[in-house]
């Protein structure tokens, strides 16, 4: 049986532990949100080849859906990445977004 003194200590410990746990989400370290940005550090091998990529690989590029991926395939071969501008539906904004992610 618990006497009054042990019961007091037990309640105090529960309050301290419970209070500490309630702070846990605020105390844990927060990681910066992951943001994938295209940089000039991408290796040529890591880029998606406009001439060899499959339909699903092209669709995985930002801003490229199934219709645009088919258009990219239809305009093959690409000698330079700049040739991508000739594909209907690829404007300057999308071209700039894809530029660091693709290779001829």
Best CATH choice for the domain 44-103 from the list 3.40.50.410, 1.10.150.320, 3.10.20.30, 3.40.50.300:
1.10.150.320
Please enumerate in sequence order all residues whose Cβ is within 8 A of that of 80, keeping only pairs 6 or more positions apart, or say none: 104
pLDDT of residue 41: 45
Contact by Cβ (8 Å): 85, 71: no
Supply the pLDDT for residue 22: 57
pLDDT in tens, the chain (104 residues): 567 888 788 777 777 666 655 555 555 555 555 554 554 444 445 899 999 999 999 999 999 999 999 999 999 999 999 999 999 999 999 999 999 999 99
Beta bridge pairs of residue 49: 103
Prediction pTM value: 0.57
Q: How far apart are CA 98 and CA 38, in angstroms?
A: 9
Domain assignments of the chain as residue spans, ordered by start: 44-103
Look up residue 101 and give its two tokens.
């992610």
């Amino acid at each position: 049986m618990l006497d009054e003194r042990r019961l007091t200590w037990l309640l105090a410990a529960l309050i301290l532990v419970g209070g500490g746990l309630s702070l846990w989400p605020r105390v844990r370290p927060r990681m910066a949100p992951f943001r994938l940005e295209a940089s000039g550090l991408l290796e040529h091998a890591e880029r998606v080849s406009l001439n060899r990529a499959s339909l699903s690989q092209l669709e995985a590029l930002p801003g490229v859906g199934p219709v645009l991926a088919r258009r990219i395939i239809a305009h093959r071969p690409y000698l330079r990445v700049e040739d991508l501008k000739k594909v209907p539906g690829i404007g300057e904004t999308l071209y700039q977004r894809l530029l660091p992610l693709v290779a001829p």
